[in-house]
Each structure stands twice: as C-alpha cells, then as structure tokens.
C-alpha cells in the first residue's frame, strides 16, 4: 500500500510544464523549443518522451474530461437525494476539479480547438454529454418542484458559464479557499434557481 509514483515522471513533468505554457501563451503560440528551454532541455530531447505536441494537448483535455465526469458521477451517486443537494454537490465537484489544477482547466476550456480530427469531435461529444448531464439534473429538479427556471438548457449553460470563468481569476494563494468558493458559487446560483428562494 503506497502512493503510486508516476510510471514516467519526466513525461508527467513535461505535461505539467507544457500545460502552464499552453495556458499562458496558448497552444499554437507555444513552441517546442520554448517548452524544452523551460525544462532545461533541447527541443529534440522531448521526443524521447512524447510522440508529438498535440499528444500533450490530447492527454490534458481528455484527462480533465475524465475528472469532470468522475466528479459528477460521485456527486449524483445517491439518486434518491434531493435534486438540489445533488446539484450542489455536482457544482462543488466541478469547482474542485477547476481549482485543483486551474492551468489544466484553462487549457481544457480554451485550447481544445487545436485538437485535430477525430480527437476534436470526440472531445466536443464528451463536453456535450457533460452539459446534458447538468441539463437533465436541472430538469429533474424542475419536475420534482425543487427548482424553477423558464428554460432548462438556458439555466444549464448559464450555470456552467459562471463556474468555468473561475480559472480566469482563481489564484491558489488567494484569500478564498476552494471549498469556500464552491460554496458561495453554489449558493449564488441556487438562490436564483431554488423555488421560493
């Protein structure tokens, strides 16, 4: 029983450094030579660890997608709980993923369009499925009389939009802890959704 060390620690380090650069400069504007320099390497050396530049982006985007789905699944595991509770937990799970790695989150949110097909299409399908999961949860809440909104799809988009702006301003050293942020966001968003709020 031990904390499993990464199979290829250097590769993981490349991913982390690349993610930070992709976030700061954008995928297209980040060169392999910049990435290598940031790691204290020559550009060619990177290719002992990775297959291509896009492969890094692919791993970041799809890895984070998996985290989001896992968080949502855990939050809605007890389907008999009040929908408002499930939604609050889903919001908190989403915020937890966003704050635990805000650089990767920013890349996930903005740089996916530099994926080439078919990865790009697969990514968008995943994103749609995730949005649909929130939409259906809200719809379930409306049907149960726990939530109210004139437009379920609209409400889901607005909710995710509010959450996804977080990586743009969140700083780990800021005065608000992730849990506190998640709580306030859920409060503010739900008070606009909750019936007789």
Interface ranges with its own copies (CB under 8 A): 25-29, 110, 113-114, 149-151, 154-155, 157-158, 160-162, 164-165, 168-169, 184-185, 187-189, 191-193, 197
Which residue of 1, 2, 4, 9 would you call a contact of DNA, by CB under 7 A? 9
Spatial distance between the Cα atoms of 131 and 134, rounded to a whole number of angstroms: 5
Spatial distance between the Cα atoms of 75 and 186, rounded to a whole number of angstroms: 13
- Among candidate residues 113, 122, 75, the one with its CA nearest the CA of residue 94: 75
Near DNA in 51-110, by CB under 7 A: 51-54
Q: Which is nearer to its own copies, 64 or 115 (CB)?
A: 115
Stretch that binds DNA, among 29-37, 116-124, 147-155, 188-196 (CB under 7 A): 29-37
CB of 183 to its own copies, least distance (A): 10
The position carrying tokens 């976030």 is 23
Spatial distance between the Cα atoms of 32 and 134, rounded to a whole number of angstroms: 37
State the alpha helices, DSSP H only, in the chain: 9-25, 32-39, 53-75, 83-100, 102-110, 119-143, 152-164, 166-169, 178-190
Among DNA, its own copies, none, residue 54 binds (CB under 5-8 Å by kind) = DNA
- Among candidate residues 89, 92, 123, the one with its CA nearest the CA of residue 109: 123
Among DNA, its own copies, none, residue 179 binds (CB under 5-8 Å by kind) = none
- Among candidate residues 35, 28, 31, the one with its CA nearest the CA of residue 11: 35
Stretch that binds DNA, among 36-44, 87-95, 154-162, 182-190 (CB under 7 A): 36-44
Spatial distance between the Cα atoms of 120 and 118, rounded to a whole number of angstroms: 5
Which residue of 30, 76, 89, 99 would you call a contact of DNA, by CB under 7 A? 30
Which residue of 26, 45, 129, 165 would you call a contact of DNA, by CB under 7 A? 45
Among DNA, its own copies, none, residue 187 binds (CB under 5-8 Å by kind) = its own copies
Q: Provide the CA 194 distance to its chain's centre, in angstroms.
A: 25
Spatial distance between the Cα atoms of 45 and 73, rounded to a whole number of angstroms: 39
Q: Which is nearer to DNA, 24 or 73 (CB)?
A: 24
- Do the Cβ atoms of 18 and 41 come closer than 8 Å? no
Q: Which is nearer to its own copies, 49 or 114 (CB)?
A: 114
For DNA, the binding residues (CB under 7 A) are 8-11, 30-34, 36, 40-49, 51-54
């Amino acid at each position: 029983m031990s904390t499993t060390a990464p199979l290829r620690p250097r590769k993981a380090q490349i991913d982390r450094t690349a993610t930070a650069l992709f976030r700061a400069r954008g995928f297209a504007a980040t060169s392999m030579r910049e990435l290598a320099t940031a790691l204290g390497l020559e550009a060619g050396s990177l290719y002992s660890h990775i297959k291509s530049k896009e492969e890094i982006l692919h791993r970041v985007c799809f890895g984070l997608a998996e985290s989001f789905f896992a968080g949502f699944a855990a939050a809605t595991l007890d389907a008999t709980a009040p929908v408002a509770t499930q939604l609050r937990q889903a919001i908190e799970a989403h915020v937890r993923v966003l704050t635990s790695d805000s650089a990767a989150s920013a890349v996930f949110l903005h740089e996916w369009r530099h994926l080439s097909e078919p990865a790009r299409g697969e990514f968008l399908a995943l994103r749609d499925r995730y949005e649909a999961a929130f939409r259906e949860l809200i719809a379930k809440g409306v049907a149960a009389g726990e939530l109210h909104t004139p437009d379920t799809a609209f409400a889901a988009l607005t909710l995710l939009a509010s959450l996804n702006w977080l990586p743009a301003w969140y700083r780990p050293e800021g005065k608000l802890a992730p849990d506190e942020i998640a709580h306030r966001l859920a409060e503010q968003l739900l008070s606009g959704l909750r019936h007789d709020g």
